[in-house]
Structure 1
Amino acid sequence: MEIIHPEPATLRPISAHGSVGLTAQALLRAETTAVTVLRVAPGGEIGDHPARGDQTLLITEGSGQVRSGAGPWHDVTAGDAVRWAAGESHTTRSAAGLTAVAIEVSGHGG
Structure 2
Amino acid sequence: MRVLTLDTVPRRAIDEHGSRGFTVGGLGITADAHLVVVRLGRGGRIGRHPAAGRQLLLVVEGDASVAGADGVPQHLVPGQAAVWEPGEPHETRSTDGLVAFVVEGDLDVGSHVGAVDAP
TM-score class, shorter: 0.5 to 0.7
Deviation of residue 70 (structure 1)? 4.8
Q: TM-score, with normalisation over the residues of structure 2?
A: 0.61
Unaligned 5+ segments in structure 1 are 1-31
Distance 2:107 2:71 in 1: 27
Q: Residue 99 of structure 1 corresponds to which residue in structure 2?
A: 99
Computed over aligned residues only, the root mean square deviation of the Cα atoms, in angstroms, reads: 1.9
Match of 1:61 in 2: 61
Aligned residues: 78
Kindly, what percent of the aligned residue pairs are identical? 39
- Rg: which structure is higher? 2
Q: What TM-score do you get using the length of structure 1 for normalisation?
A: 0.65
Q: How far, CA to CA, are the matches of 1:71 and 1:42 in structure 2?
A: 21
1:85 paired residue number = 85
* Contact in 1 for aligned 2:55/2:85 (Cα 8 Å): yes
Q: How far, CA to CA, are the matches of 2:107 and 2:60 in structure 1? A: 27
Q: Deviations over 1:68-87 (max 9, x none)?
A: 13521100011001100010
Structure with bigger strand share is 1
- Name the structure, 1 or 2, with higher relative contact order (CA <8 Å, separation 6+): 2
